[in-house]
Amino acid sequence: MGQVDVVGRLIERAELRGAVVRDVDLREARFERVSLSGAVMRGMDLGHARMDGDIEGLVLNGVDVAPLVEAELDRRYPDRVKMRPTDVPGFREAWDVVERLWGGTVERARRLPPALLHESVDGEWSFIQTLRHLAFASDAWIGRVILGDPAPWHPLDLPFDEMDETPGIPWDRDVRPSLDEVLALRNDRMATVRRCVDDLTEERLDADTEPVDGSGWPRPISYPVRDCLLIVLNEEWQHRLYAERDLDVLESRGK
């Protein structure tokens, strides 16, 4: 096959598992929601690149850099280690941290003109959309999976972009509620998580959930309670970092 020119084109939903990518110029390319697990890259020229995501078992020039990255992130964000709790007191402390940190982020957002909270930065969710997604995550993993409500959804819930449209789950990305409207939902869902961790026991933490009745997302199967809570903590931690990053940009726009 001769050279294929895809400069500036969108390559979406492509199946490339097992493919050999050779003599390819990827300068200025952008990768979103791409799985590179098991990939081997040799003879690379990687300069001024930026990678954000879950990194595990990444070897660069013979060095496993994932532990180095993890250690540096823990150094930069001392509260980050609390997002990996192992017992009931640890989960309660982790949620204390989430409430405290998000409280500061919301106060920072309140100082911006309301219109900016609907603006996207570099194609990412707006601040309002981020809060809507976290409400969805709480409904999915706490309301549906742990508490057993097969349809805990609120009309403002916002699923992750790559999820297939699912009957019964709201998905209106373009609606523009006010910050106070979204915070009313958000605070209600955060209170539900608070009650969940306050009522948690070690026995319950080590147990599996009962599958809910009916189809939907997450799939109606059994999940470890511990894993569900860790998913929620990870969502809260990562999306607050993204929100803080984007607020830096939005504040410069508001001047």
Q: What does each of the 255 residues of the chain score in pLDDT, given as a tens digit?
A: 567 788 888 888 788 888 888 888 888 888 888 888 888 888 888 888 888 888 888 898 999 999 999 999 999 999 999 999 999 999 999 999 999 999 999 999 999 999 999 999 998 999 999 999 999 999 999 999 999 999 999 999 999 988 888 889 999 999 999 999 999 999 999 999 999 999 999 999 999 999 999 889 999 999 999 999 999 999 999 999 999 999 999 999 866
Is the residue at 4 inside a domain? Answer: no
| Domain final position from 82, 100, 135 | 82
Number of domains comprising the chain: 2
Q: Which domain holds residue 216?
A: 85-253
Token representation of residue 150: 């097969």
- Mark whether 74 and 116 lie in a shared domain: no
- Mark whether 119 and 191 lie in a shared domain: yes
Is the residue at 21 inside a domain? Answer: no
Q: Note the pTM of the prediction, 2 decimals.
A: 0.88
- Mark whether 73 and 122 lie in a shared domain: no
- Mark whether 155 and 185 lie in a shared domain: yes
- Mark whether 102 and 74 lie in a shared domain: no
CATH number, residue 232: 1.20.120.450
- Mark whether 66 and 156 lie in a shared domain: no
- Mark whether 59 and 133 lie in a shared domain: no
Is the residue at 247 inside a domain? Answer: yes
